Structure 1
Amino acid sequence: MSLERVNPDGLAPAAGFSHAVTATGGRLVFLAGQTALDAEGRITGATLPEQFRRALGGLLAALRACGGGPERLARVTVYAVDVADYRAHAAELGRIWRELAGRDYPAMAVVGVVRLWDETALVELDGIAVLPD
């Protein structure tokens, strides 16, 4: 099973994401959206970076429970209630990503949304991973 990150010439430099990821062999894992919920179902963290750390941690915990690590992520979508705030914290969010998930970036998108399921959630992440058979 292999993942190949593809960043072709002629596209904007891929910083903190890959333009495409191909996967051969293996099994797909579809990771549900994760927010900053704690074990009791309460949103934790008042700031976007705090909530991003918790949400990414939850996504990676679900992936680990399936037998994979962050290097197996092929696709992640970030849903943000305030894209301007996300952009303003981009450097810090990048540091959090590298700390928790490393530098093997999946194909990613950030989508601005009006709100999330929990009204106090600022960010949600979902993903697709490919694990060896």
Structure 2
Amino acid sequence: MTALVRINPAALAPPPDNRHAHVVIAPAGGRTAYLAGQVALDRDGNVVGGRDHARQAEQCFVNIRDALAAIGAGPDRLVQMTIIVVDHHDALLPAINAAGERAFGADWPVTATTLIGAQALGHSAFLVEVNAIAALAD
């Protein structure tokens, strides 16, 4: 399987903690999978985490990990993630990053990532939503 290429141009500020890449290049000839926004629902449809951003984020990342596994891919195939956080503020960043570390472990995906603060998501119980794009082998 051809590796993704991750680039952080010298002309741009380095990503915090090297958790993200400014540019991710997928190999030619592969397929792309688009993962729908995942919220903090477990497999039975129960909201996980109550009003806790970190617990909800962890479930979102677990859902992304499990969706990838269902198509025979791992987090290393992720090229892009968008993380949407209700009532976002800077103090939430460490908790959201730690939630990703718990879900992905050593397989934390370095992706072209965007974090967006939002007033609300599709249901008032949801505090975090994560969608992603993965580059699959041909």
Q: Using structure 2 for the length normalisation, give the TM-score.
A: 0.87
What are the ranges of 5 or more consecutive residues in structure 1 without an aligned counterpart?
none
1:7 corresponds in structure 2 to 8
Structure 2 counterparts to residues 1-133 of structure 1, below 5 A: 1-15=2-16, 16-25=19-28, 26-46=30-50, 47-84=52-89, 87-101=90-104, 102-133=107-138
Q: Using structure 1 for the length normalisation, give the TM-score.
A: 0.90
Over 3 Å counting, the alpha-carbon distance change for 1:12 and 1:98 in structure 2 is same
Of residues 47-56 and 114-123 in structure 1, the stretch that sits farther from structure 2 once superposed is 114-123
Aligned length, in residue pairs:
131
Q: Tell me the SS of whatever aligns to 2:4.
A: strand
For residues 38-76 of structure 1, give each alpha carbon's deviation from its aligned partner in whole angstroms, at most 9, with x where no partner exists: 222221102000000001100111111011000100000
What are the ranges of 5 or more consecutive residues in structure 2 without an aligned counterpart?
none
Aligned-pair CA distance for 1:123: 0.4
Of residues 91-100 and 4-13 in structure 1, the stretch that sits farther from structure 2 once superposed is 91-100
For residues 88-114 of structure 1, give each alpha carbon's deviation from its aligned partner in whole angstroms, at most 9, with x where no partner exists: 122232233234333441000011222
Q: Give me the whole-angstrom Cα distance separating, in 2, the residues matched to 1:118 and 1:40.
A: 17
Percent identity (aligned): 34
Asked if 1 retains the 8 angstrom alpha-carbon contact of 2:55 and 2:99, the reply is no
Q: Give me the whole-angstrom Cα distance separating, in 2, the residues matched to 1:8 and 1:70.
A: 23
Q: Give me the whole-angstrom Cα distance separating, in 2, the residues matched to 1:68 and 1:94.
A: 21
Q: Give me the whole-angstrom Cα distance separating, in 2, the residues matched to 1:55 and 1:124.
A: 6
Q: Tell me the SS of whatever aligns to 1:59.
A: helix
